[in-house]
Structure 1
Amino acid sequence: MYTDSHCHLTCDELYDQLDEVLANMHSLSSCMIMCTNETEFQRALLIKKQDPRFKVAFGFFPGDAKEVSHQDLEQLEMNLKEGLIDVLGEIGLDYYWDDSFKEIQKELFIKQIELANRYKVPISIHMREATNDCLSILKQYAKTKIIFHCFSGSLETMKECLKMNSLISFAGVITFKNAKHAPACVKACPIDRILSETDSPYLTPVPYRGKRNQPAYVEFVEKKIAELKESDLESVCRQIEQNFLSLFE
């Protein structure tokens, strides 16, 4: 049984085909739905209510930082207070597309970390072209468990991440022939600190690269992890699920 620790199941692109996508998930034992807005969040809560395999994450993406209001943060806190959010995320910093509002991103990032600390929920981290700033903020503020989502950094960066209370999540990128650091990071990462994810509908793994991703394809991520770790698939799957469930203990 496979674990998808990060999928955008309730984004419009996948939600429009929800019945088909869910039907294909028969081999998954655990899955976390990532939500970036209230509509996605409400959809995810309904799915979770009907199926205990699901956890729900909600947080404000760094690229949307300029649009997040005080009222939005108040509503986020209300959802945390009511126990509706299993993981706060994905949050973090992203300087890839637009680095003109770094300070606004940092301010939002810190506020969300502080909320996660207050309500004792893990955080899922988006860290793109912003490694130094992101790690610096986490070291200063984070007091809860950390997931480094879709990790694609260097071996040195991963070692820094592992010094924190963190899990390293690998996506379909590790199956790509042109993956730079990912295979070495998988090999070096302790198996009890690894998560698998699809980030669907994005980053579709080989052999379906180029098509729309879906949670069922996490199978190919975990098979690649087992191959790189030179370990049997069953024990890898079992350990990854245990790692995922440990977030909520």
Structure 2
Amino acid sequence: MHDAHYHYSKEINQLQNEYGIYGICNVANKEEYEIVNRHNLFYSCGVHPWNANLDTLESMLPLLKQASIIGEIGMDSVWCDVNLEIQKEVFEKQLQLAKEWDKPVILHTKGQEKTILDLIRKYPNTYVVHWYGCMDYVKEYDEVVSYFTIGPSIGKEEEVTHLVKQVSIDKLLMESDGIEAVKWAIDSDNYIAALKNEITQVAQLKNKTHSEVESILDQNFSKLIKK
């Protein structure tokens, strides 16, 4: 199994070691970078829209340059009230850098799906859309992005189930988004059960066996991290 997008916790780190799970740990500040560096974790790094300001971007540039993947970055008008013009400026600057440095990008798209779609069309790259929660623009995103991570709410949240139905299994990845997100999504903090449920749900929707789906999703993840 893999976890293509998660936020660090000791519990997740222990379980990943125990179950042999590979993942991409999100880094949004210097403190989180020190944690992943200490534990030698594979990570992505970016200025999250909730923290978007130009000073933060400037201070994070050395860490972005070191990272293999840029993200999660994007825009959000649902869960935060940071000025959208500032969010857009910080987001686009990071898109430019990712394109210049030839690094894949993990996208956060909450409430700003159309704006983000228009921007990423300007900067062709390897894009991973994290936990897409919108019924609209799935076809349009599918035309320009490489992968979609499956939110742990699959089976409960219509938007996630709709996405999996519409997108080829060769473009799907697993994610937890961290323990707090798992709790929010499935009313449980069972990290392993959340990942296994994603495989089970995809198997049902794609008419494949659990082992077939797990193998395909892991192959997708391997392709991403080799880029």
Query: What TM-score comes out, normalization by structure 2 length?
Result: 0.89
Report the AA paired with residue 220 of structure 2.
N
Match of 1:144 in 2: 125
Aligned residues: 225
User: Cα offset for 1:70?
Assistant: 5.5
User: Cα offset for 1:76?
Assistant: 3.5
Report the AA paired with residue 153 of structure 2.
V
Question: Is the Cα contact below 8 Å between 1:4 and 1:28 reproduced in 2?
Answer: no
CA–CA distance in structure 2, aligned partners of residues 91 and 146 of structure 1: 11
* Residue 183 of structure 1, aligned match among 153, 158, 161: 161
Structure 2 residue 223 is the aligned partner of structure 1 residue 246: yes
Higher percent of residues as helix = 2
Report the AA paired with residue 41 of structure 1.
Y
| CA distances 1:101-148 after superposition (whole Å, capped 9, x unpaired) | 1111010001111111111110000001111111111111x2320000
Question: Is the Cα contact below 8 Å between 1:171 and 1:203 reproduced in 2?
Answer: no
Going from structure 1 to structure 2, the CA distance change for 1:213 and 1:124 (only over 3 Å counts) comes to farther
Going from structure 1 to structure 2, the CA distance change for 1:58 and 1:118 (only over 3 Å counts) comes to same
Q: Once superposed, which parts of structure 1, at least 4 consecutive aligned residues long, lie more than 6 Å away?
A: none
Structure 2 residue 24 is the aligned partner of structure 1 residue 32: yes
Match of 1:235 in 2: 212
CA–CA distance in structure 2, aligned partners of residues 109 and 31 of structure 1: 24
Question: Is the Cα contact below 8 Å between 2:43 and 2:68 reproduced in 1?
Answer: yes
User: Cα offset for 1:73?
Assistant: 4.3
Identity across the alignment (%): 23
User: Which range is displaced more, 235-244 or 189-198?
Assistant: 235-244
Structure 2 residue 24 is the aligned partner of structure 1 residue 43: no
Question: Is the Cα contact below 8 Å between 1:6 and 1:33 reproduced in 2?
Answer: yes
Which structure 1 segments of 5+ residues have no match? 49-53
Which structure 2 segments of 5+ residues have no match? none
Q: Of the two structures, which has the highest relative contact order with CA contacts closer than 8 Å and spacing of 6 or more?
A: 1
User: Cα offset for 1:169?
Assistant: 0.9
Going from structure 1 to structure 2, the CA distance change for 1:212 and 1:147 (only over 3 Å counts) comes to same
After TM superposition, list the pairs within 5 Å mapping 1:1-249 onto structure 2. 2-9=1-8, 14=9, 18=10, 20-25=11-16, 26-48=18-40, 54-66=41-53, 68-69=55-56, 71-77=58-64, 80=65, 84-99=66-81, 101-140=83-122, 142-154=123-135, 156-176=136-156, 179-204=157-182, 209-212=186-189, 214=191, 217-247=194-224, 248-249=226-227
CA-based RMSD of the aligned residues comes to: 2.2
Going from structure 1 to structure 2, the CA distance change for 1:165 and 1:121 (only over 3 Å counts) comes to same
